[in-house]
């Protein structure tokens, strides 16, 4: 949609709608519905420089340099009319929101049979905002305590992780992001982009006891040393489809030993210096989930608290409690 020199582009699959506004050199106002993928592919393929778009009733002409595309347009009366989301507005720091998204979205489920878990919970918590996601194998929690404006006490919404994945790709060096929470939709506004999505209208499972669980074993370790070591030993247990079997952690007084074994390939082990207090323990994890947690946890030094080889472990940075990652072991016999 062109109004003066302002071009607004909207793309939607009805569940998720993204709108962006850019400054162009406009000749006359109007609107046209183009085939999304085709148009994007055309624009991407063009040589650098100005591109001209002219729209008629049944055709649009896209040209740049010597290239010219006459593309069939979709009648604009067939395009759905998106009204704005009405509801509570919250404006928060975009940088920390983006950081939070990257930390939690990856732990959300891709299992469409468990719709609830494909969402990310955004809830009010201690005068801040909390983001939670889980796929039932691990759970990530991030608090944004410094959020300038907050949700009402007890307010919470469940946002599809797919939409948040898109959002984290869109946010670019913005200062602030505004959330508009409606009855069944949520809208994110940042810079010149708005993204709106349907909410998942399900009750999120209670997760707090996963974090509160009493754990008597604590490993304190340099985050990147452990991350690198896990990535190395993982080579021994990852298969062609990109999935991996378990990596064992032998936890002992002043170090942790990682062991990955595959009967057809061999064995990898690596010892990493650490401080460990608790009972001697061997616990196994899916290395991908472990890597996700180590990636997402901020800070240089982290802790990994365990109960035993079958109950959920807890990971977090030593110097603050903004981020927590709960990880369920793999049972090996």
Partner 1 sequence: MGQSPQRTIVHVDMDAFFASVEILRHPELVGRPVVVGGSGNRGVVAAASYEARFYGVHSAMPSVRARRLCPDAVFLSGDHAHYREVSERVMAIFLTRTPLVEPLSLDEAFLDVSGTRRTFGEPVALATQLREQVLDETGLYCSIGIAQNKFLAKLATSEAKPRASRSGPVRGSGVFHLTPDAQERFLASLPISRIWGVGPATLARLQPLGIDRAGDLLRASPKVLAGAIGEGAAVRLIQLAQGLDDRTVTPDADPKSISQEETFARDLTDRDELHGHLVRQADSVAARLRAHGLRARTVHLKVRYGNFQTLSRSWTSPRPFDGGHEILGAADGLFSRIPIDDGVRLIGLGVSSFDAGDREEQLTLDSMLDGDGVDRELRDRANSAVDEIRQRFGTSIIGPASAPGLHRTQGDQQWGPNAP
Complex with partner 1: residue 98 or 305, whichever CB lies closer = 305
For residue 246, give the nearest of 195, 177, 295, 310 by alpha carbon.
Answer: 310
d(CA 178, CA 85): 12
DSSP state of 163: H
Interface residue with partner 1 among 312, 322, 324, 325 (CB under 8 A) is: 312
Q: How far is the CB of 110 from partner 1 (least distance, A)?
A: 9
Minimum CB separation of residue 286 from partner 1 in Å reads 6
Nearest 10 degrees: Cα torsion 281, 287, 292, 294: 40
**Residue closer to partner 1, measured from CB, 147 or 314:** 314
Q: Is 203 in the site for partner 1 (CB under 8 A)?
A: yes
| Cβ-Cβ contacts under 8 Å for 333 (sequence gap 6 or more) | none
**What's the closest the beta carbon of residue 268 comes to partner 1, in angstroms?**
16
Member of 66, 206, 254, 266 binding partner 1 (CB under 8 A): 206
Residue from 245, 250, 262, 271 binding partner 1 (CB under 8 A): 245
Q: How far is the CB of 117 from partner 1 (least distance, A)?
A: 8
- Tell which one of 310, 319, 320, 321 touches partner 1 (CB under 8 A): 310
- Check if the beta carbon of residue 164 is closer than 8 Å to that of residue 101: yes
| Closest-CA residue to 195 (of 71, 21, 54) | 21
Q: Which of 122, 284, 314, 315 binds partner 1 (CB under 8 A)?
A: 284
111 binds partner 1 (CB under 8 A): yes
Count CB atoms within 10 A of the CB of residue 131: 23
What strands lie across the sheet with 52-55, from one edge to the other? 52-55, 59-64, 67-72
Q: Which residue stretch of 8-16, 18-26, 206-214, 220-228 sits at the interface with partner 1 (rule: CB under 8 A)?
A: 206-214
Residues from 126 through 155 that contact partner 1 (CB under 8 A): 134-139
Q: Which two tokens stand for residue 198?
A: 């349907």
Q: How many residues bind partner 1 (CB under 8 A)?
A: 33
Q: How far, in Å, CA of 210 to CA of 204, rounded?
A: 14
The nearest distance, CB 192 to partner 1, in angstroms, is 32
- Tell me if 234 sits within 8 A of 287, measured CB to CB: yes
Among 28, 83, 173, 209, binds partner 1 (CB under 8 A): 209
CA–centroid distance for 257 within its chain:
31
328 binds partner 1 (CB under 8 A): yes
Q: Which is nearer to partner 1, 80 or 263 (CB)?
A: 263
Phi and psi of 56, rounded to 5°?
A: -120, -170
- Containing 211, the helix (H) or strand (E) segment is helix 208-212
Position 113 contacts partner 1 (CB under 8 A): yes
CA distance 21 to 240: 43
Q: Could you tell me the two tokens for 79? A: 């395009």
Closest separation in Å from C-beta 139 to partner 1: 6
160 binds partner 1 (CB under 8 A): no
Candidates 8-16, 21-29, 207-215, 228-236; binding stretch for partner 1 (CB under 8 A): 207-215
Q: At what angle do helices 223-234 and 287-296 cross, to 10 degrees?
A: 150
Residues of this chain that interact with partner 1 (CB under 8 A) are 111-114, 116-117, 134-139, 203, 205-207, 209-210, 213, 243, 245-246, 284, 286, 310, 312, 326, 328-333
């Amino acid at each position: 949609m062109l109004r003066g020199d302002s071009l607004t582009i909207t793309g939607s699959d009805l569940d998720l709608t993204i709108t962006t506004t850019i400054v162009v050199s406009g000749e006359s106002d109007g609107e046209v519905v183009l085939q999304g993928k085709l148009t994007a592919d055309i624009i991407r393929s063009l040589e650098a420089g100005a591109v001209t778009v002219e729209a008629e009733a049944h055709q649009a002409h896209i040209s740049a340099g010597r290239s010219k595309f006459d593309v069939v347009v979709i009648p604009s009366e067939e395009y759905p009319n998106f009204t704005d989301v009405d509801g509570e507005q919250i404006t928060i720091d975009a940088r920390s929101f983006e950081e939070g998204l990257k930390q939690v979205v990856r732990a959300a489920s891709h299992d469409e049979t468990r719709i609830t878990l494909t969402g990310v919970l955004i809830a009010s918590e201690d005068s801040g905002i909390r983001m939670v996601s889980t796929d039932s194998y691990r759970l990530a929690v991030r608090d944004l305590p410094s959020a300038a404006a907050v949700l009402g006490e007890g307010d919470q919404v469940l946002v599809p992780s797919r939409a948040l994945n898109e959002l984290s790709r869109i946010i670019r060096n913005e200062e602030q992001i505004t959330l508009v929470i409606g009855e069944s939709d949520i809208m994110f506004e940042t810079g010149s982009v708005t993204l709106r999505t349907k909410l998942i209208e399900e009750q999120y499972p209670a997760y707090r006891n996963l974090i509160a669980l009493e754990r008597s074993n604590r490993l304190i370790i340099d985050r990147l040393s452990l991350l690198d070591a896990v990535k190395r030993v993982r080579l021994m247990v990852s298969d062609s489809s990109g999935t991996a079997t378990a990596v064992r952690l032998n936890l002992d007084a002043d170090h942790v030993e990682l062991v990955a074994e595959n009967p057809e390939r061999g064995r990898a082990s690596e010892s990493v210096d650490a401080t460990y207090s608790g009972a001697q323990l061997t616990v196994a994890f899916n290395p991908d989930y472990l890597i996700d947690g180590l990636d997402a946890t901020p800070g240089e030094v982290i802790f990994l608290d365990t109960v035993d080889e079958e109950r959920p472990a807890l990971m977090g940075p030593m110097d603050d409690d903004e981020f927590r990652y709960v990880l369920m072991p793999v049972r090996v016999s």
